[in-house]
Structure 1
């Protein structure tokens, strides 16, 4: 008998944290994701259908910024009340996981909305026997954060990658957590809520501490070095430090698509030609492939690996598509002018020989292939229609 899948819904699934949590959970065959749209909050019937369909609801939807702080407060409290009303109307008690914020300890209306929203869910849990978990989250950084909105990291990555002016207003130390690390905590909380004895404490508060501490000036220094070494000279930094690897992977996702393809310097003499593929300050794996005309390789994505495709002979089309998006980025590379394209994490990608002759492609990836932990997920760049 096939095991029943765990049904999970995420309010705010299109947001920064929501995107990463949704796409990560979509890789788990034990899970069925229940779609959520912001409009459900204004349609009681759809919201009731949503809460009824879920074993677990991760409530991420919230307003962070507005000219009027009272609007932030009223909006966030209102969203919590609507979820509670829908659950009570349908007499269902899904495990609700609430993303609170370290701001709840500060004197502002956003923090107040988080604190009081948590208290409302705790009261619902006590009155209805539903399981509730509050995760108080520190500052989060990672790919696809909105500049001037999600974090100073997002703002600096956006500006530095475009060589725009950056200013440090307060050079204090910031405590951060990388989005992949935060998602791991959410996933653990989801499965822990299913596996634990429900007779245990039904309301749980978890305060997640930041696990990376860095001064703002040091953060900016690292990002500017990535621009100089990586964008200007094509050099990969040392990726052994976990924070710096996370920061670099984040930075790479802000590099404008117009930056690629990057042309190599081709050195020619009577013996032939020489092209330096990549200089690196870290370990990695270099490889090459030959591909006959008309054949496509790839159609997969990675969640942590840094990878480069370099065409040195023949003609190729490289395609990329961000997971969850329909937009396809196309690049044409020609071995007569050797060039490369780097693959951002969470972008499925492929390479096709579109020429009449054999295609030679060199590949570099920052970690040797491990079949037990391949970090390779197959998904067509061009979805089947």
Structure 2
């Protein structure tokens, strides 16, 4: 199947083309601002499906709304009609098409041209009036407020919010592309007309959006992971990280260093507790304490160790586990058991720890006592 994508270098176009490129059954034809208009007819004649994503929303002069949104749609419609084929057409419009402003009027006119062309050709046409779409590769200060906020956070610029209660209706780009792919793969080769809506949107206030993104941005310092079971947070995090500067992917953790080695907190959350990592020198023992309620897991990833346990109620019986970094074996640390881990090898011991709750120095639930 050959698929033509106009506006292939735009935000949604790049995401759509990257999805289509993963498929062996699809050959993607791309039309961009740099493509000579003379090539459009040949692409349309070859295409089995057309995604018309090209358009403008913030041109320097108002006239460009007509040229970019209406003119190109007219040109595409003429090419489709000249091909004399009922090629399905999917058009991206905007919820602003319902508004009386230059952008909205130009998008509404483009919709009418596409739908009229479909009726003339007896071909299916699908018009999506998209809300604010966000995700990777969106252009800051152009495509979406999410892109602008992410860009500003990465550069250390302030997030200006004048109406924090203003409600936004947002759609995540991968959801939008998923809907488009469903249309492509469905049995569309019958004449169909109409508007379609994306399957999922998120309603969020401008102030809440700012707070969510600032929380994600602060994670490197706080190590606190927001609730990523919330899909909006998860999609915002994916979007935010896509704006990192090329020299800004890495960051250092704070380490507690002593004569035993070092220990560093990695990530933590009220929902899942915390993860930390340690490097322990040969012959050194960590632990020799117990917890009332806190549960831990130990995973040795490099080196050799012995982990020992003793039930707090038993003064003599010691349980021993020998582990090494080649096993990827996890040891659960039950509540009420005194426990310790000793580096029994000749090299440094590296261990990942998980605790069921975030360490609170005011109430640590850690009581020192020797296992043996």
TM-score by length of 1: 0.67
Aligned residue number for residue 189 of structure 1: 183
TM-score by length of 2: 0.69
Secondary structure of the corresponding residue to residue 239 of structure 1: coil
Is the alpha carbon distance of 1:84 and 1:278 closer, same or farther for their aligned partners in structure 2, counting shifts above 3 Å?
Answer: same
CA deviation vs aligned residue, 1:153-185 (integer Å, no higher than 9, x gap): 111111122221221133311111111111111
Deviation of 1:275 after TM superposition, in Å, equals: 3.3
Secondary structure of the corresponding residue to residue 92 of structure 2: strand
Deviation of 1:283 after TM superposition, in Å, equals: 5.8
Give the Cα–Cα distance (whole angstroms) in 1 for the partners of residues 124 and 57 of structure 2.
26
From 100, 114, 117, the equivalent of 1:124 is: 117
From 218, 221, 230, the equivalent of 1:241 is: 230
Give the Cα–Cα distance (whole angstroms) in 1 for the partners of residues 60 and 29 of structure 2.
33
Is the alpha carbon distance of 1:39 and 1:144 closer, same or farther for their aligned partners in structure 2, counting shifts above 3 Å?
Answer: closer
Deviation of 1:280 after TM superposition, in Å, equals: 4.5
CA deviation vs aligned residue, 1:16-47 (integer Å, no higher than 9, x gap): 1111111112223332222333233x432x11
Count of residue pairs the alignment pairs up: 284
From 134, 143, 160, the equivalent of 2:136 is: 143
Aligned ranges for residues 1-385 of structure 1 at < 5 Å? 6-40=1-35, 42-44=36-38, 46-171=39-164, 172-192=166-186, 195-196=187-188, 198=190, 201-208=191-198, 211-228=201-218, 230-280=219-269
Is the alpha carbon distance of 1:61 and 1:76 closer, same or farther for their aligned partners in structure 2, counting shifts above 3 Å?
Answer: same
Structure 1 outlier segments of 4+, above 6 Å = none
Contact 1:139 1:176 in 2 (8 A): yes
Is the alpha carbon distance of 1:282 and 1:55 closer, same or farther for their aligned partners in structure 2, counting shifts above 3 Å?
Answer: farther
Give the Cα–Cα distance (whole angstroms) in 2 for the partners of residues 125 and 361 of structure 1.
63
Deviation of 1:11 after TM superposition, in Å, equals: 0.6
Give the Cα–Cα distance (whole angstroms) in 1 for the partners of residues 220 and 253 of structure 2.
13
Contact 2:135 2:239 in 1 (8 A): yes
RMSD: 3.0
Is the alpha carbon distance of 1:85 and 1:139 closer, same or farther for their aligned partners in structure 2, counting shifts above 3 Å?
Answer: same
Secondary structure of the corresponding residue to residue 38 of structure 1: coil
Structure 1 unmatched ranges of 5 or more:
1-5, 289-311, 314-359, 365-385
CA deviation vs aligned residue, 1:212-249 (integer Å, no higher than 9, x gap): 11110111111112222x23344432200111111111
Contact 2:135 2:172 in 1 (8 A): yes
